[in-house]
Amino acid sequence: MPPNSSPYNQTPAQGVPQPVPPQGNPVMQQTMQIPGQPAPQAAPAQFAPQPTPGPVGSGPQAAKPAAKNPNSTQSTLQLSEMRDSMVIMNDGSFRAVIACKSINFDLMSDREREGIEYSYQNFLNSLNFPVQILIRSQRVDIGPYIDKLIGIRRGQDNMLLGVLMDDYINFIDALSQEANIMEKSFYIVVPYFPKGDAANLVEQGKGFFGKLFARPQNVVTHIDAASYQKAKDEIKNRVDSVTAGLFQLGVQSMQLDTKSLGELYYNYYNPDTAVRQPLGNFDNMATTFVKKAPGEAPTGGVQ
């Protein structure tokens, strides 16, 4: 065989077995075995370092570091806290919510309708601050109502009234399954901006799309006592002005307290869960807790 020639590049002869190229670790292919010593073994496959998979042809990829501050659901909310029947937003502004009862406008006469329209026009013109009118539709859960009827039916001794109540219960149950019974709620949101209403409108007009697609960040709102008391007084004056204007329309209204605000936001952000699991009364919730007793901790072993 001439030098610098490989037996694997020669043309195989017929009937002659050809040598098989070595398999396994390429480092072991160049290691010479010393007589009298055992042959070195390759490292097990399970202990061999495995590169991180990546795109085809890109080679081993380094593992990506975990995010230090992952986004949370609370970072997407625009409110900071609720206190004294007000909602404090992340930007330091305040909100008050007024719940309004509806009136049947269709059953009124033409003269009454004109009076309501003129009163509503005067109400809007009398406001010197912006307001938001919110109409919310929510599915009504009539399960408690049916349970109440069933309880009354069990205590009914009159056979004829019992048959009529059974028919009525079956009718209400079938109606709730075939149609979605909706309930509409009406609210007026009264805002207060410490920097002024006009300055807030200018600020909202700047970079609208930038704020819309911006990455949410955790914001800490700091408000001093003087600014908070001023906002509280201004919110009260604005709420009184709105409720007085609604009274001229014949609309009954009431400002939501802190508990009612929590229920409103809970129902708004959890429309499906709120029907099955309504928010309970926190005043009736109690639990035992353990606190540290005064004095020094005992020392020594167990007696």
Q: Which of 257, 259, 261, 266 is nearest to 285 (CA)?
A: 259
Q: Please, what sign has the CA dihedral across residues 300, 301, 302, 303?
A: negative
The answer to whether 91 and 211 are in contact (CB under 8 A) is no
Q: In terms of domains, do 272 and 169 share one? A: no
Q: Are residues 203 and 111 in the same domain?
A: yes
Residue 269 falls within a domain, yes or no? yes
Tell me, yes or no, whether 125 and 203 share the same domain.
yes
Strand partners, 133: 188
Q: pLDDT of 199-236, one tens digit each?
A: 555 555 555 555 555 555 555 567 888 999 999 999 99
Q: Whole domain around residue 268: which residue ranges? A: 77-134+188-212+221-279
Q: Tell me the backbone φ, ψ of residue 277, rounded to 5 degrees.
A: -135, 85
> Which of 144-153, 194-203, 219-228 has the lowest average pLDDT?
194-203
Domain count of the fold of the chain: 2
Per residue in 274-288, pLDDT tens? 767 777 665 555 555
Q: What are phi and psi of 142, to 5 degrees?
A: -95, 15
Indicate whether 95 and 192 sit together in one domain.
yes
Task: Please state, as a whole number, how many other Cβ atoms lie within 10 Å of the Cβ of residue 148.
Answer: 11
What does the pLDDT average to over 10-22?
Answer: 51
Return the pLDDT at 131. 94
Q: pLDDT by residue (tens digit) across 63-111?
A: 555 555 556 666 677 888 899 999 999 888 999 999 999 888 889 999 9
Grouping H, G, I as helix, E, B as strand and the rest as coil, residue 131 is coil
Residue with more model confidence, 196 or 301: 196
Q: Can you give the pLDDT at residue 90?
A: 87
Residues 87, 205, single domain; the answer is yes
CA angle 88, 94, 95 (to 5 degrees): 100
